[in-house]
Amino acid sequence: MGKLLAESLVRDVPDFPQPGILFKDITPVMQDYAALREVTQHLAAWAKEKKVDAVIGIEARGFVFGAPVALEVGVGFVPVRKLGKLPYNRVAEEYALEYGTNTVEMHADSIQPGERVVIIDDVLATGGTAAAAARLVEKLGGVVAGFGFLIELGFLEGRKVLSAYDVHTLLRYE
């Protein structure tokens, strides 16, 4: 794949959210029609090859990319949300953070046994949230056909956490 327009639009923000962190801001990618379309098309082409029944997006920026990918692929979109945000019967999965834990949820009727899904998010960092989303799918009997991300922060080694799955990223930073 050649250089993506999105790559030129990712903005480095030093010392955010704390000193010593170089934050990769994807807001300019989302604000640019051509870049957003490009990211959507690349992720959708990859997802189509997986012959999926649904696309899952992880809150919040996974919604920005996941929903249009689902439309391109011709399947429904399933949100994975933070604890307490979904109104109906839910399954939950806790995952470790550097200090403490967090929890994500999905509606219990959103994936049927045997359905194939891809999970879309903006950034692969440590892989904890993505792995928790995969466990939710598998609790419901679904099959995770792969993960798609705009950015991979390779130095955080999140790909190792997801080593049992196909991981597709458009941009990688070391």
Is 117 domain-assigned? yes
Positive or negative: CA dihedral 96, 22, 147, 44: positive
Domain residues for the domain of 129 are: 49-173
Q: How many structural domains does the chain have?
A: 1
Question: What is d(CA 21, CA 79) in angstroms, rounded to the nearest whole number?
Answer: 28
Domain membership flag for residue 98? yes
Q: Residue 149 domain-assigned?
A: yes
Q: Please indicate, yes or no, if residue 94 is contained in any of the structural domains.
A: yes
pLDDT band at 1 (very low <50, low <70, confident <90, very high): low
pTM for this prediction: 0.96
> Would you call 61 a catalytic residue per the annotation?
yes
The answer to whether residue 44 is domain-embedded is no
User: Percent of the chain beyond pLDDT 70?
Assistant: 99
157 catalytic, yes or no?
A: no
161 belongs to a structural domain: yes
Question: Given 61, 81, 90, 159, which residue is catalytic?
Answer: 61
> pLDDT (tens digit, 9 = 90+) per residue, 104-160?
999 999 999 999 999 999 999 999 999 999 999 999 999 999 999 999 999 999 999
Rounded to whole angstroms, the Cα distance separating 26 from 122 reads 8
- Identity of the amino acid at 14: P
Asked whether residue 75 carries a pLDDT value surpassing 70, the answer given is: yes
2 occurs within a structural domain? no
pLDDT band at 27 (very low <50, low <70, confident <90, very high): very high
What per-residue confidence (pLDDT) applies to 100?
82
CATH code of the domain containing 75: 3.40.50.2020
What mean pLDDT is predicted for residues 61-84?
Answer: 98
| Domain membership flag for residue 74 | yes
pLDDT surpassing 70 at residue 2 = no
